[in-house]
Amino acid sequence: MAGTLYVVATPLGNLGDLSPRAADTLKHAAVVAAEDTRHTKPLLAHIGSGAQLMSFHAHSTERTLERILGLLGGGTDVALVTDAGTPTVSDPGVALVAAARARGIPIVTIPGPTAVAAALAVSGLAADRYAFLGFLPRKGGERRRLLEAVAASEWTVVLFEAPPRVAELLADLSTVCGPDRAAAVARELTKVFEETRAGTLADLTEYYAAAPPRGEVTIVVAGTGKPRPAPLPPDPETVARTLLAEGMSRKDVAERIQAETRISRNAAYRLVNEL
């Protein structure tokens, strides 16, 4: 029988947040696949685990993945951990979980700490519905697209960011969302110097530009509180003229504009015939 892949959440910082079930799993798993073995080794020592440590991170090769899958396929239990929090949440462990699932290997979650939920809980912003976008690209069109998605979101949005780029991200968010949009910056959650600062994007941008943060950072941005307006359907005559010019038959054009512009079937055929 195949071994089991345990997806184990570990503390964000405070070792007291490791659940008894997570500790027991890490003690009894033969292998622990870790994002950074140097980070995970002290945790295993703290709970007295003698598990073999293997590295699995964003730059791991296909050979490494196959080695872990081979262990699982041979009956060895493997625990997957990330540096802090829940594996696969903005974390390369998702590749291992997906590959194990594709091969029918049993997968069990050992839930626990996550920076997303922790930051939402202390932000003071609505958390009944939210979107999580992880780390945004550092530049380019995809960054702009995601920034605009934050600005338009009806719901609260949670982001991760590296400390040196927090002020820049806040400034960009202030530009697209408006300087008065409410937000919160949570850093070093559960650690000695834990801090959550809430305010407008303009206030937070000014503060962190003058006092760059240290440690792990999670940013929470308030949503608009209202759904995005539905896009207007295209103009039927414009669509019909374009399709006719492309050589499409009148019948096909009529069916196409009926589907795309929401006008009735009779109106669509009448418009095409008039053109």
Residue indicated by tokens 């069990």: 108
Clarify whether residues 145 and 204 are in a common domain.
yes
Measured from the Cβ of residue 68, the count of other Cβ atoms closer than 10 Å reads 21
From first to last of its 275 residues, what are the pLDDT tens digits of the chain?
899 999 999 999 999 999 999 999 999 999 999 999 999 999 999 999 999 999 999 999 999 999 999 999 999 999 999 999 999 999 999 999 999 999 999 999 999 999 999 999 999 999 999 999 999 999 999 999 999 999 999 999 999 999 999 999 999 999 999 999 999 999 999 999 999 999 999 999 999 999 999 999 999 999 999 877 766 777 888 888 888 888 888 888 888 888 888 788 888 888 888 88
Give the total number of structural domains in the chain.
Answer: 3
At residue 61, the pLDDT reads 95
Q: What is the enclosing helix (H) or strand (E) of 108?
A: strand 107-110
Is 229 within the bounds of a domain?
A: no
Residue 226 within any structural domain of the chain: no
What DSSP state is assigned to residue 128? S
Helices assigned H by DSSP within 30-86 = 37-47, 62-73
- Contacting residues for 232 by C-beta, under 8 A, at least 6 apart: none
pTM of the predicted model, to two decimals?
Answer: 0.81
Q: Please report, for residues 155, 205, 223, the alpha-carbon distance to residue 142 in angstroms, rounded to integers and kept in the order given.
A: 20, 22, 20
Inside any domain, residue 227: no
210, burial (CB in 10 Å: exposed 0-12, middle 13-18, buried 19+)? exposed
Cα 177 to the chain's mean position, in Å?
A: 20
**Structural domain containing residue 15:** 5-113
Domain presence at residue 230: no
- Quick one: 154 and 127 in the same domain? yes
What are 199's two structure tokens?
A: 């305010």
Whether 124 and 209 map to the same domain: the answer is: yes
What distance in Å separates the CA atoms of residue 17 and residue 13, rounded to the nearest whole number? 8
Tell me whether residue 12 is exposed, middle or buried, using C-beta atoms within 10 angstroms of its C-beta: 0 to 12, 13 to 18, 19 or more. buried
Cα separation, 172 vs 203, whole angstroms: 13
Q: H helices then E strands: how many in the chain? A: 11, 10
